[in-house]
Structure 1
Amino acid sequence: MDSISIMGVRINNVTMDEVLNIIKDKIKNNKQYIIYTPNTEFVMMCQEDEEFLNYMNKSDINIPDGIGLIYAAKLKGLPLKEKVAGYDLSVNMLEMANKNNLKLYAIGSKPGVAETAMKKVHEKYPNISIVGSHHGYFKGSHLGIKGHEEELQVIKEINEAKPDILFVGFGAKKQEQWIQYNKDILNAKIIIGNGGTLDGLAGNVKRAPDIFIKLGLEWFYRLIKEPKRITRQIVLPIFMIKVLFGGKKIVNLIK
């Protein structure tokens, strides 16, 4: 699988269909597979946090979740095939799970969010076996407290449920940290760190209209709806400036 490095973060050059085919194969062959969803914010965070960078590069695949990554790769002559949004991938995984009667467990967000999200998933995808959900407000590896009894209880519930797909939504770094600390003791096949997906599925966050998504302006729509995001979105122009003037080492091919 071809991949490039954007400011040190591995980005796999894949399409949505290719990722879904890989997922199907891993589930069929009972193989664990870890998916991360880096965007420009993740990449910029990694510039200031080497620990986060190390977590990001230990996944089995990093999908290009962000139009900024697509532009950066194209500007440096190493174009990616397409944007593969983490939310869209998650929804496609739900559709696949529904067709194949797969088992799903969701963990993350505030109390009640994962539960609500799974109720709505069940209503829309009745063939998915929802085998459990849990909020992210427990003491565990994502908070730097490894092996706490609260975390061990959650892991026990997951392992007893044996999900085909495990959604982990603690947000940037926390979800990757939790997955990396616990992957060897998790009895789950496909593990995806998918951030705010649970809030989206629960109906707490409205997705941008299709026209904004097609134009690569989903970030702008979210900024209009949530002006307080300006402190996060400011990294986008900084990212592009680094790409434009940072030289060849900013984006390079991984051999």
Structure 2
Amino acid sequence: MKKYFNVNLEFNKDVADQIIERTIEHNRKGYVCAIEANNLAIANQNKKFNETLNSSLVNVCDGSNIAWLLGKIYKKHFCSYIGNDLFINFVNKGKYRQYFLGNTDEVLTSLKINLCQIDPTISEMCFSSLPFSTVEDFDYSSIAEHINSDSPDIIWVSLGAPKQELFMKNLLPYLNKGVMFGIGAVFNFNSSVGKVRRAPKWILKLRMEWFYRALEEPKKNIPRYWNFIKLLPKLIYIEFKHISKSVY
């Protein structure tokens, strides 16, 4: 991975997949972060969170606009790896034991039904919500005990950023093995309940999913996007500064 906007990012999907699969095959552990505007902005404002992202197994770019912007800066193609695509990719492989952690019981119940249409063996896998808690107050030892007893290869974590990334880093020392993925609203996208939905394909093609999400949950998402927009000039300046240093 190379650092962009002060965060390690892997833009090659095959490389990201290989890192993840190699970790699983060797019974090792780690966590994967999907970097989008919100957690990228927080990483540039909070040192602890920046260290959390840069301590991951691999980070993928969950924002097509971030990839597009870096492409303009570096004058080459950057490919995003959207969190939902990553999720469906590994579910479709049908060869890993998975553990679905977080969100609500209602979403998890519907998610399980839908995913069993893709892979019937998912009916035997664990879907577990978490009690409402701050990152500091989760009982990580107890949570890990349940996960370790199930011995999954993959642990999907749906708590929303930045909570899920901090959660994964705190949980990691207690796990015996397995790759955790922080995937936010992906559980909601793939269930049939609630108001949170994936944007229509025509909006995705226009790289306007952020706008769709802003209208979908304005109180939550508009402040997040505004925070990123305010930081954008500084982030762009940093990248051009790196380019000038590498030239000279």
% identical aligned pairs: 23
In structure 2, relative to structure 1, the CA distance for the partners of 1:21 and 1:245 (3 Å cut) is closer
1:242 to 226, 234, 239: 234
Superimposed CA distance per residue, residues 66-103 of structure 1 (whole angstroms, 9 cap, x where no aligned partner): 1232133223217463011111101111001x2x2x21
2:180 to 178, 191, 194: 191
Question: How far apart, CA to CA, are the structure 2 residues paired with 1:249 and 1:179?
Answer: 32
- State the match for 2:2 in structure 1: 3
Alpha-carbon RMSD:
2.6
- State the match for 1:106 in structure 2: 100
- Aligned pair count? 243
SS of match in other structure, 1:172? coil
Is 1:134–1:154's contact at 8 Å kept on the other side of the alignment?
no
Ranges in structure 1 where 5+ consecutive residues have no aligned partner: none
SS of match in other structure, 2:61? coil
Ranges in structure 2 where 5+ consecutive residues have no aligned partner: none
SS of match in other structure, 2:68? helix
Is 1:72–1:243's contact at 8 Å kept on the other side of the alignment?
no
- State the match for 1:152 in structure 2: 141
Matched, 1:84 2:81: yes
Is 1:113–1:135's contact at 8 Å kept on the other side of the alignment?
no
Question: How far apart, CA to CA, are the structure 2 residues paired with 1:13 and 1:86?
Answer: 13
SS of match in other structure, 1:234? helix
In structure 2, relative to structure 1, the CA distance for the partners of 1:253 and 1:127 (3 Å cut) is farther
Superimposed CA distance per residue, residues 31-89 of structure 1 (whole angstroms, 9 cap, x where no aligned partner): 32421111121111122221111111100101011123213322321746301111110
AA in 1 matched with 2:80: K
Question: How far apart, CA to CA, are the structure 2 residues paired with 1:80 and 1:34?
Answer: 26
Give TM-score scaled by structure 2 length. 0.85
AA in 2 matched with 1:192: F
How far is the alpha carbon of 1:24 from its aligned partner? 2.9
Question: How far apart, CA to CA, are the structure 2 residues paired with 1:187 and 1:133?
Answer: 19
- State the match for 1:65 in structure 2: 62
1:45 to 15, 36, 42: 42
- State the match for 1:180 in structure 2: 169
Superimposed CA distance per residue, residues 200-219 of structure 1 (whole angstroms, 9 cap, x where no aligned partner): 22233211111211221111
SS of match in other structure, 2:4? strand
- State the match for 1:134 in structure 2: 128
Superimposed CA distance per residue, residues 148-192 of structure 1 (whole angstroms, 9 cap, x where no aligned partner): 3xx433221111000111001111122111211121221342211
Give TM-score scaled by structure 1 length. 0.83
Question: How far apart, CA to CA, are the structure 2 residues paired with 1:144 and 1:26?
Answer: 27
1:74 to 67, 71, 74: 71
- State the match for 2:12 in structure 1: 14
Is 2:34–2:182's contact at 8 Å kept on the other side of the alignment?
yes
